[in-house]
Chains A and B, each alone.
Chain A
């Protein structure tokens, strides 16, 4: 028997085994996604139950009254407004910091750049509560107590690191020849920056801004330590678990789920279009 025939029989023997292992993998994926989504469905369903304690098992009829109740909930609405304020503050602080860090790290050729990189990404790897605590202690020495401002500063500390990583990824794909050419043709550094670098970064600045805003709104662990006597939407939700748990929280959950699904579908659709455009270009 030849070697080729040998390999052939092995392949034939192995094919069903491979199909079988793919089936197992598919089943595993199905289970994993059920695990991810079933709890969210449970939570969403309870928003429509007229029973006043959030539950799906004690079903007392379909209702939309909790949605109405949410619009009357002053504290939650005020919290949402505070969250939005903090979110814009975070964009204003974190993006310039992230940009500066990215510019320095992509151009600095030094043995210190490794350490600098480590320090600048360290907020991502630090537990959120510690960022909140450190900010609280630091500003107390200057006489600033916990509140919206400190929540914004504490959040910006690590959100700036995330934006920096996004800017670095973009800058690494920059074609330096364009800059060099502009400089050779007599453009000033500032002009190159304004006419070449910033337009090149513009899409990333937009994405980083949106992501910074969302991360800020979502944040709980850092905010809860730095917010003092004030509150955001999320810290208010957090305190409701101890006192006054009601299906209004589930309504917020439904709204979050709906918004997330819409945004995620748009995001993935855009990426998929981009991928297909690139594939068409190559193919």
Chain B
């Protein structure tokens, strides 16, 4: 703190602290706390309240009927009872409008079997995407960072940056066109006689979760390449040379020298890929086009904007957040890296 004030002076330091506090509280922590809080309550309308209101209205009309017929002192008494009934109805109606807020775990425990299955499937596929991306990307990152000449590496990086920078939706869209009923893949299968498009004998790739999986791998694979590349770029080539000169096999060089060095990058890549896949709304939305089975992000979206059940939606969102946080800790454990190594 004294260091901060010494460098920038009190007024500027105060501004920096103020802005950072706003960011942390107003944009990161408090919104997420509000989301968590919202997931722990439901609005409860007393079950019998509308029945009570109906009955009160029925009583009221009977009284009014009586009032029309009554004469003498009884009339005032009935008029008094009518007023009392009206007040009672107003009170009941107020209660109906303002449902009671009840704190409960119900939003979590009441997750239907279908939604739970969707949740498990989403997490499973996200983990598969992560593993596949790691296996596919490691050789690519190694080749560009260690084997290629600097000029060639720059050229290859260009080849990575272009698809990486193109919008996620458009990248997924490209796979929609490939896997569509009369898409590229079905047409190719038609040429070799597996499918017959003229009679609509195509393979409905888009109806299987595999289509979402394929597009997800494509959409997020580059988030694995760049972190691994960034760490491997700083690995001294002499280390690999030395290991080779000392007679280590290619396999052993990777296992003992390159992979241990690449671990922070691998951890970051896995965290990013998993988080993006598990929380992806775009990929399932485009590939399924809202027709075949939901993914968890779509289920959450429906809770908010179709069922209008924000509390349930908040509970699902919070569940996803917890899974992603646990995954970060899992990766830190698996790759034995600290917080500082992540997201550098």
Contacts and interface: CB of A to CB of B under 8 A. Distances in A.
Contacts of A120: 20, 23-24, 28
A90 interface: no
B114 interface: no
B28 A220 contact: no
A58 interface: yes
B317 A133 contact: yes
Contacts of A28: 139-140, 143
> Chain A CB within 10 Å — which of B22, B167, B324 has the most?
B167
Interface string B271-307: 1100110111110011001100000010011001000
A51 to B, nearest CB: 10
B35 interface: yes
Contacts of B175: 39
B130 to A, nearest CB: 14
B4 A241 contact: no
A71 interface: no
Interface in B154-203: 154-163, 165-171, 173-178, 180, 182-184, 187
A5 interface: no
Contacts of A128: 276, 279, 281
Chain A contact residues: helix, strand, loop or mixed: helix
Contacts of B12: 189-190, 193
Given A43-B174, A125-B275, A104 B281 contact: no
Nearest to A115: B339
A104 B23 CA distance: 13
Contacts of B160: 36
B220 to A, nearest CB: 12
A107 B38 contact: no
B284 to A, nearest CB: 11
B17 interface: yes
B340 interface: yes
B313 interface: yes
A39 B321 contact: no
Given A109-B3, A118-B339, A130-B320, A39 B174 contact: yes
A238 B301 CA distance: 14
B290 A242 contact: yes
Given A46-B177, A103-B16, A133-B314, A29 B140 contact: yes
Contacts of A165: 343-344
B275 A40 contact: no
A268 B154 contact: yes
Contact of A256 (B166, B282, B286, B342): B166
B169 to A, nearest CB: 6
A241 B289 contact: yes
B271 A125 contact: yes
A205 to B, nearest CB: 15
A108 B3 contact: yes
Contacts of B182: 55, 57-58
B102 interface: no
B11 A190 contact: yes
A45 to B, nearest CB: 9
B98 interface: no
B224 to A, nearest CB: 12
Interface string A153-187: 10011001100010000000000000100000000
Chain A: number of interface residues, binned into ranges = 35 or more
A25 B165 CA distance: 25
A5 B11 CA distance: 72
B339 A261 contact: no
A36 B281 contact: no
Nearest to B344: A165
B328 interface: yes
> Which of the listed residues B31, B218, B301, B342 has the most CB atoms from chain A within 10 Å of its own CB?
B31
A91 B105 CA distance: 40
B167 A218 contact: yes
B38 to A, nearest CB: 6
Contacts of B151: 272
Contacts of A86: none
A241 to B, nearest CB: 5
Nearest to A136: B304
A224 interface: yes
B7 A189 contact: yes
Contacts of A145: none
B156 A29 contact: yes
B182 to A, nearest CB: 6
B208 to A, nearest CB: 18
A114 B163 contact: no
A65 interface: no
Nearest to A242: B290
B79 interface: no
Interface string A12-46: 00100000011001101100110111011011001
Counting chain B CB atoms within 10 Å of each CB, the highest count among A54, A100, A114 belongs to: A100
Given A130-B321, A135-B31, A257-B166, A40 B3 contact: no
A138 B169 contact: no
Contacts of A234: 167, 169
A250 B171 CA distance: 11
Given A32-B140, A43-B173, A241-B285, 8 more contacts: A25-B139, A25-B147, A39-B175, A108-B4, A220-B168, A225-B304, A241-B289, A264-B162
21 contacts: A25-B143, A25-B147, A37-B163, A42-B177, A43-B174, A55-B177, A97-B20, A97-B23, A100-B23, A104-B4, A104-B20, A107-B4, A120-B24, A129-B279, A129-B300, A133-B313, A160-B23, A192-B8, A193-B12, A220-B169, A238-B169
